[in-house]
Every structure is written in C-alpha cells, then in structure tokens.
Amino acid sequence: MKPEKPIRVEILAYAPTAFFSCRHCEFAWQQTGVGKPIREEQLSASLPDDLKQQYQELSDWVRQMAAAYGEGIIFSVIDAASIEGWLKSVRYRLRKYPAVIVDGKDRAIGPGCFERAATVIREKMELAQAM
C-alpha cells in the first residue's frame, strides 16, 4: 500500500531540546562517560510532564504509522518553539499544538489530531492504491 509519491506529514509539537557543544568537546564528553547523563538530564528537564506525555503519544503514533505504511510516508517533527515551528505556524495558521499537516494541505490540530490525521492518511493511501 504505497503511493507513487510518499505522503509528507509534518508534525508541529513542543519537543524536548538538548544543547550540544562543538564536535570535539562532545567527543571528549562521550569518551569520559559524562555526556550521556548530561543529555538525559537535559531531556528529562526540558518539558513539563503534560508535554512529555503529549510527545510520547506523538512518538507512539509515528511508530504505528511507519509500521503500517513504511516508505509510503515521510515524517518531519518540528519543534513548535523553534523558528521553523513559528514560520510553519504562521503559514498554516496554527495556534494549538500538536498539529499534523498532511501533504501541505490537510490539517489536524489539538486533541485527537493524530486519529484525524491517520484517517486522512489512510484515505490518501486507499485512493493511491485504487489508481
């Protein structure tokens, strides 16, 4: 069940953020074993519990969709708090997150957006298969 052209899915959500040093410093931190605990602490502290839960739901949904459609779908997860996220929010007139944009046209916003987006994706896949 793969369309001729993969379906592009952009997901805007508040995402955990980790900051990194230069490549040489990061290599040194990894070799000494200090880097991993620092990254884990950054990621665990970067979002409040409700947004962590929301991000986990996003992650689970992406895995389910990838398992169902494989190469027929391409995902981009964009942090809503980033510059790219702000630009996409303006472009698609988004004010609530998470938000899913399918092929640059269909929008699913806020609670229940993953189920609504899954329906749109399934319909697009069925249409592509029928052709």
Provide the 10 A C-beta neighbour count for residue 16. Answer: 14
Number of domains observed in the structure of the chain: 1
- 1 occurs within a structural domain: no
- Give 63-111 pLDDT, tens digit per residue: 999 999 999 999 999 989 899 999 999 999 999 999 999 999 999 999 9
Structure tokens at 15: 């995402």
Task: List pLDDT tens digits, range 8-25.
Answer: 999 999 876 554 456 656
Q: How far is CA 96 from CA 65, 90, 108, 121, in A?
A: 22, 12, 10, 21
Q: Is residue 37 part of a domain?
A: yes
* Helices and strands (DSSP H and E) totals, the chain: 5, 4
Q: Which residues form the domain of 103?
A: 7-130
CATH number, domain with residue 120: 3.40.30
pTM of the shown model: 0.74
